[in-house]
Amino acid sequence: MAASKRNLPVPAGSTGAIRASRRTRLNADTSAEPEGLTRRVVLNFLEAFFRRPWLHLLPLILMLALGAASGFSTKQEFTSTGTITAESSTVIGDLTQSNNQGFNFDTPATVVARNINELLRTTNFLNVVAGKLQADATDSQKALLREVIAKDVGAGADGDQLVRISSTSERADLSFRLADAVIRSYVETVKANNIAQSDQAVQFFQAQVAEADTARKAAQAQLDKFLVDNGLTEAVQIPAQQQQQINNLQADVDRAESQYDAKLDSLDQAKLASNSAATEVDQRLRVTDPPEQPEAPQPRLKSAVLKLAVFGVLGLLLSLASVIVAATLDRTIRVPGDITAKFDLDVLAVVPDARAR
Amino acid sequence: MAPRMGLGRKKRKAPPLDEFGGTADGGLAIIDETGHLVHMTPPRIAGALRYFLARVQLHDAQGMPERLALTSALIGEGVTYITRSLAAAIAYDTDASVVIVDCTFRRPVAEERKDKRGRSAKSPSAPRIESSDGQPDGQLPPPDTNGATAEAPRHLTLADAIENDASLDDIIIETSNPRLSMVQAGAVPVARRPALAQGRPLASLLDQLDERFDHVLLDLPPVLASSDAMNLSQLADAYVLVVRQGSTSEGQVEAALDELQGGETLGVILNRFDSNIPRRLRRLVGT
């Protein structure tokens, strides 16, 4: 016989009243406020990870292995470094008023380092360097050397005035020769450019002076001719009208004289600059520490650790991505918060799996 | 009391039970009048359902509904298991009487055999739709199978009462706990189930059960597997959706809730919850 119904406290209202008010939240602790959302997302990610931890750790492990293999299997490398001191002004530059090297906001070292790196991307400069490395190189050898130089050599600023030109190679002698050739080629290129520019300036001003001289002579000739034609060479009293013409012609002569003098000054300046161009470059770019042939290879541990760290970070990102993908693709209910957030329903009980630990 | 195991199940040493089917560690058992162990709830699961009871009774203005339906979106989410465990907890922990009404009707044997022959001709491994308790076979007692095999033919069923006018007393199965009773679903052809679910006889029968018991727990079939659940859920004051962790998708839960829109939702029971996150980390996250 079934148990008879007991007189338990019966809720007020009919069944309909119960139905009308049932769908109220029983407890507020599972609400979907932003904090709850964060926790739910974190829990879902953690659930996704711990469901298949080794699968998600696999990218990290593989990348670490790859990084270790790559870091510790690299061949030994030698680095040779030379240092150039770059000045923004020189004594000769001050004297010849040619100290305008474009160091406006950048430091001299930055400009020179950038200039070297830019030149290392030009075939002409690389050919110059290749010629210093191997004078009798064929075209194909030069092409190979150009590739090696562009790959292995680089310049960087160290402070305001120091520029370090480094070359890294598997051979100690090659690294030294590369750095040395690049430094010498750079200084020579700058020097040649300066001299060429100065010579062009001299030629330009020479032409200008010749023109001014011709103009000066022509003006003087006109004045002389006027005086002779009018018999005024020895006259004491010159009529006012003729005096006015003489004054005008004399002014032309004076103007031509002054232009001639100015051009002559510029020519002198250009000649001075041309003569001092090589010396000025020597003063502005001084090879402070010439490169030396390295005796020992670069320590590999640092680069290996760096590679390991880079690969480790990549692996970590991949592992993280796999967890995020797994958590995003899994649309099943994993945590109670999924129900409260998605359906605004109360989770009345979380019944554990009997087989669970 | 030394309960006997259900039919066809591996016998195990059962824990000592008190006269109402409780174990010393908080577990709960349902033992029928013949001494068969019908259902066993381990202490951890009983604890979770006690939390459910306390929460509903303390926080909800209406307390525990008189007629509560339990259903799920899919098969195998553990509705039967949760229903029986919840009923055992109510009967053991409170002085309220409770009856479990199994509403998952079986197919008549003849229909099932015919269908099985048809399927085996097509594909021998075709999946069978059958009820599941959602908890592992390997735990203490034999898991129940929606009353289909374990407590077989001695009792008349709900189907008998509706279709053959069997009396209420004949269909109620007593258990060792005088406050807990059960009613089996019985076999009904698939074609007749919608009419039966919506029919007056079933509603009348449930009204009679209401008069006898403080709580009537309806063990409903899955919503997305059968249309019966929608009709049957209308007979309850409220329903609880059982969701199995890591099995039911959000879309399926949403679809089930859409299907049950006419009824009042009490909430969700998250079943078979097993977090893979280490306990220390869980504490750190604050769960």
- Per residue in A191-232, pLDDT (tens digit) is 888 888 888 989 999 999 999 999 999 999 998 888 888 877
CATH topology of domain B39-274: Rossmann fold (3.40.50)
In this prediction, residue B176 carries a pLDDT of 87
| A163 pLDDT tier (thresholds 50, 70, 90) | very high
User: Between residues A21 and B45, which one has the greater pLDDT?
Assistant: B45
Q: In B, residues 210-229, which contact A (CB 8 Å cutoff)?
A: 211-214
Tell me whether B276 touches chain A (CB under 8 Å). yes
CA angle A155, A178, A102 (to 5 degrees): 35
pTM reported for the whole predicted model: 0.60
In this prediction, residue A104 carries a pLDDT of 60
Nearest to A324 by CA among A33, A39, A42: A42
Q: Distance between alpha carbon A30 and the CA centroid of its chain, in Å?
A: 52
Q: In B, residues 114-133, which contact A (CB 8 Å cutoff)?
A: none
Tell me whether B270 touches chain A (CB under 8 Å). yes
Distance from CA of A76 to the nearest CA of B (A): 45
Q: Determine, for residues B62 and A39 on separate chains, whether the beta-carbon distance falls below 8 Å.
A: no
Mean pLDDT of A131-140: 86
Q: Determine, for residues A349 and B52 on separate chains, whether the beta-carbon distance falls below 8 Å.
A: yes
Identity at B176, one-letter amino acid code: S
- Nearest chain B residue to A15, by CA: B237
Query: Based on the number of CB atoms within 10 Å of its own CB, is B99 exposed (0-12), middle (13-18) or buried (19 or more)?
Result: buried
Every domain of chain A with CATH number 3.30.1890 lies at: 78-297
Contacts of A16 (CB under 8 A, 6+ apart): none
The minimal CB distance from B264 to the residues A8, A22, A331 is found for A22
Residue found under tokens 């760096």: A306
Q: Distance between alpha carbon A27 and the CA centroid of its chain, in Å?
A: 59
In this prediction, residue A251 carries a pLDDT of 92
CB B220 within 8 A of CB B79: yes
User: Is the model's pLDDT at A96 over the cut of 70?
Assistant: no
What ranges make up the beta strands (E) of B124-237?
A: 172-174, 180-183, 215-219
Q: What residues of chain A lie within 8 A of the CB of B269, using their CB?
A: 347-351
3-state DSSP call for residue A331?
Answer: coil
User: Is the model's pLDDT at A267 over the cut of 60?
Assistant: yes
Tell me whether A332 touches chain B (CB under 8 Å). yes
Contacts of A18 (CB under 8 A, 6+ apart): A11, B62, B65, B237, B238, B264
3-state DSSP call for residue B220?
Answer: coil
User: Between residues A3 and B244, which one has the greater pLDDT?
Assistant: B244
Question: pLDDT tens per residue, chain B (287 residues)?
Answer: 445 444 444 555 656 777 778 888 888 988 887 888 888 899 989 999 999 998 888 766 678 889 999 999 998 889 999 999 999 999 998 889 999 999 988 877 766 666 666 555 444 333 232 334 445 433 333 433 333 334 444 578 888 888 888 888 889 998 988 999 999 988 888 888 888 888 888 999 999 999 999 999 999 999 998 888 888 888 899 999 999 998 889 999 999 999 888 788 889 999 998 888 888 888 887 66
Between CA A22 and CA B236 the distance in angstroms is 12
Residue found under tokens 């079986």: B106
Q: Count interface pairs A-B at CB distance under 8 A.
A: 186
Q: In A, residues 162-221, which contact B (CB 8 Å cutoff)?
A: none
In this prediction, residue A182 carries a pLDDT of 93
Buried b (16+ CB within 10 A) or exposed e, A102-124: ebeeebbbbbbbebbeebbeeee
Q: What residues of chain B lie within 8 A of the CB of A11, using their CB?
A: 61-63
Q: Determine, for residues B237 and A22 on separate chains, whether the beta-carbon distance falls below 8 Å.
A: yes
| Class of the CATH domain delimited by A78-297 | alpha beta
Tell me whether A236 touches chain B (CB under 8 Å). no
